Chains A and B, each alone.
Chain A
């Protein structure tokens, strides 16, 4: 190894030490604790799979994540598709409308949804005031509110991912289809949609992974009534101090995320997209 290479290696050492000691080791400790706390063995996992409460939490997490992902992807695709076809001036305005919620703190967004959806909130007051409904609707502190908040949180990510993917599609392919007499609907279903499948897959993967482990928005907009995995773990470590159950659930969550990434990494299209950023 030349002295130049030794220097280069040396430059990577601080980052390596920091991540291994203060990221990898704490997470490995979580995995280890799930088998040793309070006693050695698989007791936590037996408890986890046998518990009706945890079963409910897992079911809620899966339903909310699935609905969020489907809604986010369909709605984001509609926006991204329109973005690709917009004139530059309109596109600037539209991208600005995506960027503001993208960069605003997640807490500000959750709080905004509370002021809108609450019983005496902006939406209910407007609807009751206009006489459209007699009684205020229950729009928040239930699954509906959580899903609205989560879709709103995820959409900017998905739009930016899908927009990047769609703007890479060669416009000459669309021209070719049109000159061969394909109608707009046919062009959409037979050209655009197949070519955007890799982008759709990546965006869905990210949204599913973010949703499964999401704490902030479900906790605020669910207010304990829509208990998802992350909030359940947080209750275990901060109030009931059941470290065994908390670490076993964390391990399972990590395993599910790892499996999703592993499956995605096997597909050639996704692998190309992931390695795109690499030199």
Chain B
């Protein structure tokens, strides 16, 4: 091999390959944007003019998109709050409690991350039909709380592992009672992790589809469920419009997080 060829092989090939693969990840997601702007009423690129009619149809209450967005927001908010409270209580308790019980429980608590959700869906269809909770707010919210807890526990646990245990000793030696120690010493110190946990829990519930698909039918249509049925039924450009909205929100949140992190890093240094 000539030195020049070798240099191409060692230096340029890996870089080109990596950026091509990154493009494979990033570019296909963007394709929903031009498709949402088509003037035709079927899925196509906007070759004959740009139109915002499909975005307008999202705002039409009877098209069903707006109600399903509100349903998803409500369920995600409720399950995020509930999951964060239960997860924070567990994480703090497990951090303080000396014994095997928390580490055993932690494995069970985190298992939804590994166990395929379809198995849980089979179990919950049985249980909810017995308790007549199929297609109900409370039924969906409980399932979302269970599925959101693992990430909340991980985020809050990460915050706790940076907490100095001597802080608790100091508070107790100064005569603080247990509720004061938990509520006014530990909790304020793990607030960033708790907020991160709440956001992750919200996202899990907002995106959940596999289990929701089986425990809801006509009454309760979350946004993922609405997207799922629209993909299966027909290929409507309104779908590209909602996908575009979700993509733009995701990108905005990511950029916001990046700038906030840099601000925090600058302040620290």
Contacts and interface: CB of A to CB of B under 8 A. Distances in A.
A79 B18 contact: yes
| Interface of chain B: mostly helix, strand, loop or mixed | helix
B122 A30 contact: yes
A16 B105 contact: yes
A165 to B, nearest CB: 17
Contacts of A98: 22, 25
A213 B112 CA distance: 12
Interface residues of A, number: 85
Interface string A128-165: 00000000000000000000000010011000000000
B126 A82 contact: no
A94 B22 contact: yes
Nearest to A233: B118
B227 A19 contact: no
A79 B21 contact: yes
28 contacts: A4-B96, A8-B96, A12-B90, A14-B86, A15-B153, A16-B90, A16-B105, A18-B146, A23-B108, A26-B126, A27-B120, A30-B122, A33-B126, A79-B22, A94-B22, A97-B22, A100-B251, A104-B246, A106-B207, A107-B209, A108-B32, A108-B243, A112-B31, A120-B44, A122-B31, A233-B122, A250-B118, A279-B160
Interface in B115-174: 115-127, 142-143, 145-146, 149, 153-154, 157-158, 160-161, 172
Contacts, number: 250
Given A22-B142, A104-B246, A184-B10, A238 B214 contact: yes
A194 interface: no
Contacts of B49: none
B55 interface: no
B224 A107 contact: yes
A92 B161 CA distance: 28
Interface of B: 10, 14-15, 17-19, 21-26, 28-29, 31-32, 35, 43-45, 86-87, 89-90, 92-98, 101-103, 105-106, 108-109, 111-112, 114-127, 142-143, 145-146, 149, 153-154, 157-158, 160-161, 172, 178-179, 181-182, 203, 207, 209-210, 213-214, 224, 227-228, 231-232, 235, 239-240, 243, 246-247, 250-251, 253-254, 258
B209 A106 contact: yes
B100 to A, nearest CB: 12
A167 interface: no
B178 A213 contact: no
Residue from A11, A101, A109, A237 whose CB has the most chain B CB atoms within 10 Å: A11
A248 to B, nearest CB: 11
